[in-house]
Amino acid sequence: MKLPNGYGSVVHMGKKRRKPYAARVTVGWTEDGKQIKKYIGMFRTRAEALNALANYNQNPFDTDLRKLTFAEVYERWCKQKFRDAPVKSVYVAAYKNLVGLHSMRFAEIRKRHIQAVIDACPLKTQAKSHMKSVCTQMYKFAIDLEVVSTNYASLVELPAKAQSEIHKPFTPTELATLWQHVGEQGASVALILCYTGLRPSELAQIRTADVKLNERYMRGGMKTKSGKNRLIPVAEKIVPLIERLYNPAAEYLLNLDGEPLLNGNNLRSRIWDKNPLLSGHLPHDGRHTCATLLDNADVPKKIQQLILGHAAQDITGRVYTHKTLEQLIEAINRI
């Protein structure tokens, strides 16, 4: 059947090709009257090629954009998302783990391709979740560019989260040992994590201006809506440890050799892993220790949730009154 003029054409490129049928359209003319043709794509059957041609005529797109690889879309997405700022390490790591997609044309990637790469990744669920998140955000960007029309990443299934057995609270004996070595930076940082419930990354992000030792609290937190910008009560017993870190001339509370650590990975590699007393524990164990100590001290659940930055349906708007701050400080001093 002859196709209408200006509709495009389907041509057979040879039997030895895996996808022998090409769909192409005329996008302009040369000065001597010859057609300038661009290929929409290569297909296994003539029917597939005709369908692609029909879709193109119904909703024309930039054929050059359809040639962008996953790596090229990632590069464009990073420039749009981060501007001149460095790309966050969690995104860089997720992209590296998606190496199986890098050279594929983005427009040809389907859910099964993403699923296969994520399923084959030997890392744990959190890393796979980051991989899916990066893909999902890239698809939203690519849809805006009209590279694709469907977010296949949103259809990817992640493995069920297994109950974590990685993290374990410090025992009373281990805490006593840390107090005996409180002059060491590693022990001091571990104790601050244990008696504030802060995530390692949250402690690394605490700004000096947000430390109010006279009022016995700090402001900080991240990750979740309930955890961000919360009041963190400071127990009396760790006030000297924070005073030792406090430098009004520094932007951040936690520094090493005059440089801020800024994230949990640096805290672990540059402080935690260098102290043999902390062997067998991870920095996040401090948060688990705080939760255990609060529970053992019969601190009300609502107060525990406020201290740790956990969501609670019956805490409306997380509005901190003076009375609430007093309750937080009283609770943290019990442990």
User: Domain 70-155's class?
Assistant: mainly alpha
Question: What is the pLDDT at residue 161?
Answer: 65
Summarize the confidence of residues 251-272 as an average pLDDT: 93
Confidence of residue 42 (pLDDT cuts 50, 70, 90): confident
Give the fold, CATH level 3, of 172-332: hpI Integrase; Chain A (1.10.443)
pTM above 0.85, yes or no: no
Cα 262 from Cα 82, distance rounded (Å):
18
The residues, ordered by sequence, that sit 6+ positions from 22 with a Cβ below 8 Å of its Cβ are: 10, 11, 12, 13, 39, 41, 42, 43, 49
Confidence of residue 317 (pLDDT cuts 50, 70, 90): very low
Q: Where in the chain is the domain with CATH 1.10.150.130?
A: 70-155
Summarize the confidence of residues 301-316 as an average pLDDT: 74
Nearest to residue 304, comparing CAs of 290, 284, 283?
290
Question: What is the pLDDT at residue 184?
Answer: 95
Cα 317 from Cα 327, distance rounded (Å):
17
Percent pLDDT > 70 in the chain is 90
- Condensed to tens digits (0 to 9), the pLDDT of residues 25-37 reads 887 778 787 878 8
What's the mean per-residue pLDDT of the chain? Answer: 88
Of 28-32, 60-64, 123-127, 283-287, the range with the highest mean pLDDT is 283-287
Burial 293-310 (b: 16+ CB within 10 A, else e): bbeeeebeeebbbbbbbb
Cα 94 from Cα 99, distance rounded (Å):
9
Asked if residue 314 has pLDDT above 60, the reply is: no
Q: Where in the chain is the domain with CATH 1.10.443.10?
A: 172-332
Confidence of residue 62 (pLDDT cuts 50, 70, 90): low
Question: What is the pLDDT at residue 180?
Answer: 97
Summarize the confidence of residues 277-284 as an average pLDDT: 94
Summarize the confidence of residues 258-269 as an average pLDDT: 93
**Amino acid sitting at position 134:** V
Considering only residues 318 and 45, tell me which one the structure prediction assigns the higher pLDDT: 45
Nearest to residue 237, comparing CAs of 289, 285, 196?
196
